[in-house]
Amino acid sequence: MQGVPADYKKLSDEELIHRYAHRNEPVAINCLFERYGHLVFSICAKYLKDSEAAKDATQQIFIKLLDDLKRFEVTHFKSWLYQVSKNFCFMQLRKSVPVVNNEFITNVHMESEEDWHQKAEEEELFNKLDEAVRELNAEQRQCIELFYLQRLSYNEITAKTGLTPMQVKSAIQNGRRNLKLKLEASRNVRS
């Protein structure tokens, strides 16, 4: 994937979607992928429980976006992307589980109000975590994403980034501490 020009990074999600859908500017999709790829991957990893399947799903979701963003009017991209990612994972899981009967499928997808509130809280936490990850410095963000989302070992991260094992360990520890502080601060602001 090509790097995203700095002027694109300053654009809102809505502006990027407009540039892609109405001006055919593919770099806008690259910017959205750079911005939200790790969020989609973490959602897929949570539901699919397999790193390779999550990587494939992330790619398929963004390929699907190429068409969807030209066909649909999307106003709250991050929430919409979260829902699209979740639905995609459910469809993948449904394909892999033999269907016993239609009643079983109906019961699985019926959500109580309590479940809905829990999912809304999970989505809010994902959003806060995503925002906190994006606020980390580049080294911490990269190491956190490689370690937790792609599940690479310290040695694999060292090979991929060129950092020393101590730098990788330090970046992960400091990144984790900074994420915890940011999440606690946002929780205190909400209460």
The count of domains in the chain is: 2
pTM listed for this prediction: 0.51
- pLDDT above 70 covers a percentage of the chain that reads 84
pLDDT band at 1 (very low <50, low <70, confident <90, very high): very low
Confidence class for position 144, pLDDT limits 50, 70, 90: confident
Of the three residues 110, 127, 157, the one that is the final residue of a domain is: 110
Q: Tell which of 110, 145, 162 closes a domain.
A: 110
Domain, as residue range, for 100: 1-110
Based on the fold, state whether residues 106 and 134 are members of the same structural domain: no
Using CA atoms of 147, 57, 133, 171 in order, give the dihedral in degrees to the nearest 10: 20
Q: Give the residue with greater pLDDT, 143 vs 130.
A: 143
Comparing CA positions, the residue from 34, 42, 41, 38 lying closest to residue 16 is 34
CATH of the domain at 183: 1.10.10.10
Q: Where are the beta strands (DSSP E) in 11-82?
A: none
Q: In the structure, what pLDDT confidence band is assigned to residue 3 with cuts at 50, 70 and 90?
A: low
Task: Give 36-77 pLDDT, tens digit per residue.
Answer: 999 999 999 998 888 899 999 999 999 988 888 888 887 788
Query: What mean pLDDT is reported for the chain?
Result: 82
Is there a single domain that holds both residue 93 and residue 119?
A: no
- For 47, 83, 152, the CA distances from 44, given in Å and listed in that order, are 5, 11, 17
pLDDT, residue 58, reads 93
